[in-house]
Amino acid sequence: MACEIKEKERIGTINPIFTCQPAGAQFASIGIKDCIGIVHGGQGCVMFVRLMFSQHYKESFELASSSVHEDGAVFGALDRVEKGVDVLLARYPHVKVVPIITTCSTEVIGDDIDGVIRKLNEGLLKEKYAGREVYLVPVHSPSFVGSMISGYDVAVRDFVKYFAAKSRNGESNGKLNLITGWVNPGDVKALKHLLRAMDIDATVLFEIEKFDSPMLPDGSAVSHGNTTVEDLRGTADAIGTVALNRYEGGKAAEWLQSEFGLPTIVGPTPIGIRNTDTFLRNLRTLTGKPIPASLVEERGVAIDALTDVTHMFLADKKVVIYGNPDLVIGLAEFCIDLEMKPVLLLMGDDNVNYKNDPRLLAMTEHVDWKMEVVTNADFWELEDRIKNGGLEVDLILGHSKGRFVAIDNAIPMVRVGFPTYDRAGMFRHPVLGYEGAIWLAEQMSNALFADMEYKKNKEWILNVW
């Protein structure tokens, strides 16, 4: 028995794990300060994505739509972009960055957003908004290919390509570029803690810590990221780049390396002890800063916490993991380190690079139990294996969209990833770093404890633990 990487055999999708490319591009855009993206397509391409963001973070976000209707789908809808940019700039005088994000309909009809941006730069911006700092950024994210993961990856690269520029003196700014990928505010806070401990000055792309927004006396109710135009421009002068995820920000990191020769390290996602250790060593390699004793102690606290639960409660537990690919792979590596047995990993899109991912290939070589990695997967792959294929599962890790499989089959589940909307405050807790390792292990343990109690299955062991 071993790990097998294969594609879903069925044609079509039943209950998808991911949503589409424009969602990922929109997520990247809301991480930029003074930015409101215009999604060039139907209103639903914004409305349902904003709903997911609001459900997950319990905050409000600003996104606009060109609101393409039937006539535009037939005759072209670039006039909607022109009107949309004008209305947006007039209504929001603080906005500087306006990405034009395409969708399936506008890519199919062939709307030339690069051309209309050139037209607006030469016309509207010079005539009506002369002297105002405005950047129109084209982001091509058709929904009929890829997923929200590739949409985010493409958008991050396009933002960096648009703004990154060497300073006149050509000197380094002494900062490290840190591309976080699709994470939570709690993860950003945990990453900043590690950077401060190592005395590293970093540009965090994209800075979403403020998605956990305060309720202030002025009544402001809109959340936004804090990555500025200056931050994006300065990425070219950095001492190097670390992208935490291969599939969420890897394109931007590789472009900075090829364009400006910046030392670059992509991954691994710092989930668990092993990968966090590697992350810290990568920081040391790029910056020359030592790993302080405080982090060694923090690591020791995490190992002690994991020791409390691993062998007695987590060992040999069979786990299914689905969601964003770098998150899924990082969680699987962590579970293996905890003596658990991932039996099924579900990747929700058809990225051909999954089959060559060295992390997954390592699992195919070292796993000695039956384990499947299914690409282009949906939730029916999970449900069918449990109901009809005899798959035995002790625990499910994933976002809220798969909760009905867990509920219907009485399997304990830990919510992790995006979107999570049926548990309170999950976005505040990190899964990255040593702190995230403790939180994850204890969440998994507590889910199993509750299951033991409800099912009267060895619950006596909790009395002697």
DSSP 368-403: -S-EEEEES-BHHHHHHHHHTS----SEEEE-GGGH
Query: What is this structure's pTM?
Result: 0.94
Last residue of a domain, one of 291, 307, 339: 291
As a whole number of angstroms, the distance between CA 166 and CA 20 comes to: 34
Whether residue 286 sits in one domain with residue 320: no
What is the average pLDDT across 53-74?
87
Q: How many domains does the chain have?
A: 3
**Statement: residue 456 has pLDDT above 90:** no
- Tell me the sheet residues that pair with 395: 319
Query: Which two tokens mark 76?
Result: 């072209």
Provide the mean pLDDT of the chain.
Answer: 93
* The pLDDT of residue 290: 97
Residue 194 lies in a domain: yes
**Judgement on whether residues 212 and 139 belong to the same structural domain of the protein:** no
Whole-number Å distance between alpha carbons of 274 and 212:
28
* 445-461: average pLDDT: 86
3 state DSSP class of 139: strand
pLDDT at 455 over 90: no
Do 275 and 225 belong together in one domain? Answer: yes
pLDDT at position 1, please?
62
In a domain, 63, yes or no: yes
Let me know whether 324 and 420 are in one domain: yes
- For CA atoms 8, 10, 15, 21, give the dihedral sign: positive
Answer yes or no: is 157 within a domain. Answer: no
Q: pLDDT value at position 218?
A: 77
171 within a domain of the structure (yes/no): no
Looking at the fold, whether 266 and 315 belong to one and the same domain comes out as no
Mean pLDDT (whole number) for 205-224: 82
- Domain boundary (257, 291, 325) is at 291
348, 412: one domain? yes
Which residue has 């950077």 as its token pair?
A: 195
* Number of alpha helices (DSSP H) and beta strands (DSSP E) in the chain: 19, 14
Share of residues in the chain with pLDDT > 70 (%): 98
Sign of CA dihedral 49, 50, 54, 57: positive
Given this model, what pLDDT does residue 413 score?
98
Query: Which of 291, 306, 336 is at the close of a domain?
Result: 291
Residue 210: the pLDDT is 86
Query: Which tokens is 18 given?
Result: 């991911």
Let me know whether 252 and 354 are in one domain.
no
pLDDT value at position 464?
65
| Nearest by Cα to 329 from 265, 247, 385 | 247
The CATH number covering residue 27 comes to 3.40.50.1980
pLDDT value for 128: 94
Please determine, for residue 23, whether its predicted confidence score (pLDDT) is greater than 80. Answer: yes
Structure token pair of residue 110:
């062939």
**Interval 363-421: pLDDT, tens:** 998 899 999 999 999 999 999 999 999 999 999 999 999 999 999 999 999 999 999 99
Residues 316 and 442 in one domain: yes
Interatomic CA distance for residues 76 and 157, integer angstroms: 27
- Rounded average pLDDT over 52-77: 86
Structure tokens at 61: 């976000």
In this predicted model, what pLDDT tens digit does every residue of 173-191 receive, in sequence order?
A: 999 999 999 999 999 999 9
Joined together, the tokens standing for residue 116 give 């209309």
Residue 212, in any domain of the structure: yes
Q: Which domain holds residue 340?
A: 3-14+295-464
363 CB-near residues (< 8 Å, 6+ apart) = 3, 332, 336, 371, 373
40/134 same-domain check? yes
* pLDDT of 69: 84
DSSP for residue 136: E
**249 shares its domain with 366:** no
The answer to whether 107 and 41 are in contact (CB under 8 A) is no
Summarize the confidence of residues 156-169 as an average pLDDT. 94
Residue 156 belongs to a domain: no
Shared-domain flag, residues 447 and 360: yes
pLDDT tens profile 245-269: 999 999 999 999 999 999 999 989 9
Cα–Cα distance measured from residue 351 to residue 363, given in angstroms and rounded to the nearest whole number = 18
Q: Give a yes or no: residue 83 inside a domain.
A: yes
In terms of domains, do 372 and 410 share one? yes
164 part of a folded domain: no
pLDDT digits (tens, 9 = 90+) for 282-298: 999 999 999 999 999 99
Residue 460, pLDDT > 90, answer no
